[in-house]
Structure 1
């Protein structure tokens, strides 16, 4: 079974041309599935039926996995078993009888102006890492980049004289994103004062570097932001993606139209962008409840 999973992952890379991050996601989902199958003594995929799948999904749900994570598992298994059926590895596809659970209505966390200011003020501007981290925060909020897009940002992608950044998003889709003067000032400070020190006479095409002069990792950015959130005493589940949510929500609250925000975020489907209209409305409701004398 593991050989068939390895063949599938190779197929995703070579035939489908998926990104490394997407393949890692599929690999992790299938690894969890394999653990369950081994614990329940399954030895081949052809012996798996719809009830096996339903039992596995119930197991994951009872283990505390979030609804949207279960939805992703269903999607992974659906595509994997389609692959097995297409290449005659199995006779029947058990996923044909499995419905995809509906997505939860959880709204993403968004920082208000005060929380955003507190977060930006935490990195220590008197050392190189503080300047780098403040620049990362400013860039994420100014552009709405995904963290994967940020860490893969190259020097050639910066067009600061035109207030623009070039990036490659999901599905290898290129887009151009404006960037404000505040973020540009921090980028120039980082590029001129800090990045050469981090490089230590080496070369790199990437903008944001770690202490060894190599490309900073997604995990490192995630941990840095989590640490700054604790110091700032912000009681929300804040991740790098929260700054993307905040970017989109603040644009809508200040009058941007949905199509513009869709283009800036690189969403292929506007329905993905529409969640931010709900976030914006929730913010208005909270402000009303807070300040209206009869609320």
Structure 2
């Protein structure tokens, strides 16, 4: 479906003048066929620029945002069809767009798409929000503000349960949608917030994998001749001894470290939440930094996780290694298992809520219980 092209066209029939308006349309081309979709925007000849944007109009910003949203929405829809292996047709696109161009003031989907682009959030969070928007478009029963009611939210819940394996994922589907429903309610675009009466089940949190002391040692002592894999091992271990998430690792710069009480300390704000975190670089972390002249060999997250899968197998660790496993290992094996108070661990990790940190404590307690059962069988 890569041969679907989308562009804006103004005054297709060449009738616009400074006194006569013409329409802005979206041209979609597929397999040498093209179709035009209205945007609801009409302009004079001097109100359209060579950069394909509205100019010299009191609502230029609003119109350009609307056009950008429409183009983005079509690209997203085409990608959605591709991932689901559904053939693209103009009829499907026509049905998807509906009356999008005619009146966006009634469209909740337009409102949600616009707010996703406007909100000051991490890009990873924005991607999650867009995934929920795509799911909502697929759901099909909530398009306009008038569709937001208790019955449709309940139907959306059933829809999410069919898509997700875990209740915690269903909860997140609602959690994101609820943000925009409440924004619409606050802006008086809807009279009632259906989530006030809709009870959400959080579900059980997914188990967070971490390495035991023995598994961590396997990775540390294993001889690795491959240069790339060896670098990935070092970066992974650095995260195990600092608790840095991959997004924060990318922003790490030793130049920002401050010497305090004989140790270098790093104070940053987490990329994901903006919450401050505070860590001191232990000797093992410093050894890794010195090895690379204090500039870690960072690669893309996708390549990093691919290498970690190989690293785990090569070192005889049965657990699937990911960038998150290192952070979880720091929270459990490195800190909680060695008596660090949970309130301190929370500050180290930069958690916004100590309840998040308590999940690690529960996991570690389960590991303790397992060892007691093992000892009981031996003794």
User: More displaced, 72-81 or 267-276?
Assistant: 267-276
In terms of fraction of residues, the more helix-rich structure is 1
Contact 2:233 2:311 in 1 (8 A): no
Contact kept? 2:150, 2:198, Cα under 8 Å: yes
Post-superposition Cα deviations, 1:90-149, rounded to whole Å, max 9, x if no partner, equal: 33333222222133154422211222223345683552x234212211211001112211
Task: List alignment gaps of at least 5 residues for structure 2.
Answer: 1-106
Within the candidate set 218, 221, 242, 2:325 is matched to 242
- Deviation for aligned residue 1:155: 4.3
Deviation track 1:218-237 (CA, whole Å, cap 9, x = no partner) reads: 33323322332233343334
Distance in 1 (CA, whole Å) between partners of 2:206 and 2:319 is: 14
Q: 1:249-282: per-residue Cα shift (whole Å, max 9, x none)?
A: 1222221111211111112322221222222221
- How far apart, CA to CA, are the structure 2 residues paired with 1:162 and 1:291? 38
Aligned partners of 1:231, 1:53: CA distance in 2, in Å?
A: 47
Matched, 1:25 2:128: yes
Change (3 A) 1:9 1:43: closer
> 2:251 is matched with which residue?
152
Q: Distance in 2 between matches of 1:148 and 1:97?
A: 37
| Distance across 2 between alignment mates of 1:153 and 1:123 | 27
Provide the C-alpha distance between the structure 1 equivalents of 2:223 and 2:165, rounded to a whole number of angstroms.
Answer: 33
Partner secondary structure for residue 140 of structure 1: helix
Comparing 178-187 with 73-82, greater Cα deviation is found at 178-187
Work out whether residues 258 and 265 of structure 2, in 8 Å CA contact, stay in contact via their aligned partners in 1: yes
| Partner deviation per Cα, 1:66-92 (whole Å, 9 max, x = no partner) | 222111111111111111222233333
The answer as to whether partners of 1:125 and 1:131 remain within 8 angstroms in 2 is yes
Q: 1:186: Cα distance to partner?
A: 1.5
Point out the structure with max Rg over C-alpha.
Answer: 2
Q: Which has more strand, going by share of residues?
A: 2
Residue 34, structure 1, aligned to residue 137, structure 2: yes
**Does 2:113 correspond to 1:11?**
no
Misfit runs of 4+, over 6 Å: none
Q: Is the 8 A contact 2:268 2:278 kept in 1?
A: yes
Per the normalisation by structure 2, the TM-score is 0.63
TM-score by length of 1: 0.79
Report the more deviating stretch, 222-231 or 76-85: 222-231
